[in-house]
Amino acid sequence: MGLIRILLSVFSLVFRTLESVGFLWDFSVRLSEFIYGKQRGAIVSGPSNPILKLPAKDIVQYIKQRRMTCVEVTQAFIDRIHEVNPLINAVVADRFHEALEEARGIDKVLDSSELNDEKSVLMTKPLLGVPVTVKESLACKGFPHSAGLVDRKNTIATKNANVVENLLRAGAIPIAVTNCSELCMWWETANNVYGRTNNPYDTSKIAGGSSGGEGAIISAAGSVCGVGSDVGGSVRMPAFFNGIFGHKPSPSIVPNQGHFPKGTSEAFDEYLVMGPLCRYADDLILMLKAMAGPRLHELRLDEEIDLSSLKVYTLDIEGPFLTSPVEPDILMALRQVCSFLQERYDATVQDTHMSLFQYSPLIWSATVHAAENNRFASQNLSNESEALAINPFTEIFKYVLGYSKYHYVTLTIAGIEQVRAPLPNCLPDVASNFVKMGVELREEIQTLLGEDAILLYPSHPSTALSHHRPSLAPFNFSYTSIFNVLHLPVTQCPLGLDRNGLPLGIQIVAGRNNDRLSIAVAKQLERHFGGWDSCYPGKNSQKKQI
């Protein structure tokens, strides 16, 4: 491992040097402008309808108290989607007509003077009348279910994913499905079925991935809450880039059934989780309860949290190998969070050294691919029961010529999987070493966090990048992905804007099944730093900067 560490250090040094002098970035900008033309970003205007600014918990109460109708709420969000979607391209299919019909049905029952069984049942539903959106990779009956793959563009879901069924039972009204990256494999949301999703704070910037459509439409007040999937940060990165809250739950709490692409092993189902994205921290618990399966009780979400004994850890490492250094504004935001928790709750704040975090990209990659026998991309590009239906190397050549129907990241991963299989036996041994490191790190951090501690960790090394730039820093998703293989719950919390008017944020990590602690801390940070409400798109006069 000594030789590997030396090589990684050299690669990281070269990568960061090139990035710091701007060589790769300048080349990328010029190439992008040559291919796509010069881009000028727009800012999505803030919502004017007061309904659009309400959290889900208030909407539910107002509907039940008949202070507003379900139709009013649903129509407000439909109108907002019509207004903002041409700019951000987040919603890719809708059921506006059906949603309004369902809203009218709810209003009819609630307006009845009789207290019948149907009305009594509706009054118990925790998300009654709340319009929600769902990532297109999750099956919603009657909706496209392609995960951005051209070969699946005509695939229509015949039944709902379990998590969607759970939301329906809670009274939510799905109004649309949203864009994702092809096969959910990249942290910029773009594919050859629906195109690219833009950031509402600046449309020349990425919305993140793979749940970028959810992050963008919720941030732009076109949806109250939404559902994303996360195997490497696909809930948290879009939440970060778009200035909203996102939560990666502890494993096996929210059902994965109905998601495409899907894994084939129980181990992979521990890494892939479905999580809520919301504008307000209070809605995270509401959504998590509604989305969860029969193991919800393990989270003890209704237990009171005493933050007076909180322990706060930060990592004193520079950052994982092969990733960019963290920007100063993000580090400043992290320090301000530490200071606030110290002053407000007398929390103990301490740097901790976990050297294995340096190997985050390799630990995640080795662990996830070991769970799927190194064939995740290959099996999901194939037909249901056939072997790999494409030659990724031929397709890469076609991509260079502009003729491939696949995204280059998907092809790269599929190509690596094919090349790796026949290589010498030493490579599986190297990969298994990184898997063992992951197990060791999982045990170490779980012992550290226990029941009363959190880890504060950057959500990403930079705020939202310009389109196409993630290709220059492909491993930067490691800041989020490592926690999937560590089985830990993580809440992404917005923290105002950086000097360029783009959202800042922080990951709040807690011990397994201690989701209530990371969410409780996020609620306090929202009260102090303002959350989405202090910096939503278009609110230029009230932007809060760190």
Higher pLDDT, 409 or 7: 409
Catalytic site includes residue 541: no
**DSSP conformation letters of 351-420:** EE--GGGGGHHHHHHHHHHHHTTT-HHHHHHS-TTSS--S-HHHHHHHHHTT--SS-HHHHHHHHHHHHH
Cβ proximity of 205 and 87 under 8 Å: no
pLDDT of 107 over the 80 cut: yes
Span of 262-276, 324-338, 427-441 with lowest mean pLDDT: 427-441
| Residue of 135, 205, 248, 523 marked catalytic | 135
Give me the mean pLDDT over the 300-309 stretch.
94
Considering only CA atoms, give the Rg of the chain: 22
279's tokens: 């504008």
Give the confidence band of 425 by pLDDT, cuts at 50, 70, 90: low
Span of 125-134, 278-287, 374-383 with lowest mean pLDDT: 374-383
Q: Which residues contact 384 (CB under 8 A, 6 or more apart)?
A: none
Q: What is the pLDDT of residue 465?
A: 97
- Residue extents of the structural domains in the chain: 50-291+305-361+433-543
Q: What is the pLDDT of residue 33?
A: 52
Give helix 70-88 / helix 212-219 axis angle, nearest 10°.
Answer: 120
In whole angstroms, what separates CA 75 from the centre of its chain?
A: 26
Span of 14-23, 96-105, 418-427, 444-453 with lowest mean pLDDT: 14-23
Q: What is the pLDDT of residue 353?
A: 93
pLDDT of 385 over the 80 cut: no
pTM to 2 decimals?
0.92
Please tell us whether the domain made up of 50-291+305-361+433-543 is placed in CATH 3.40.50.2300: no
Higher pLDDT, 324 or 419: 324
Span of 34-38, 136-140, 199-203, 340-344 with lowest mean pLDDT: 34-38
- CA distances from residue 220 to 147, 243, 275, 480, 499 in whole angstroms, order as listed: 22, 10, 19, 23, 20
Q: What is the pLDDT of residues 179-237, one digit of tens each?
A: 999 999 999 999 999 999 999 999 999 999 999 999 999 999 999 999 999 999 999 99
**DSSP conformation letters of 332-361:** HHHHHHHHHHHHHH--EEEEE--GGGGGHH
| Residue of 219, 234, 324, 462 marked catalytic | 234
Catalytic site includes residue 210: yes
Beta bridge partners of 226: 133, 277
Give the confidence band of 417 by pLDDT, cuts at 50, 70, 90: confident
pLDDT of 19 over the 90 cut: no
Catalytic site includes residue 339: no
Give me the mean pLDDT over the 356-367 stretch.
96
pLDDT of 291 over the 50 cut: yes
Residue-averaged pLDDT of the chain: 90
Find, among 175, 176, 232, the residue nearest to 209 by Cα: 232
Percent over 90 (pLDDT), the chain: 77
Q: What is the pLDDT of residues 490-519, one digit of tens each?
A: 999 999 999 999 999 999 999 999 999 999
* CB-based burial, 223-235: b 16+ in 10 Å, e otherwise: bbbbbbbbbbbbb
pLDDT of 6 over the 60 cut: no
Q: What is the pLDDT of residue 420?
A: 67
Span of 319-323, 362-366, 401-405, 418-422 with lowest mean pLDDT: 418-422
Give the confidence band of 544 by pLDDT, cuts at 50, 70, 90: very low
Span of 26-35, 101-110, 199-208, 281-290 with lowest mean pLDDT: 26-35
pLDDT of 14 over the 70 cut: no
Higher pLDDT, 494 or 5: 494
pLDDT of 21 over the 50 cut: no
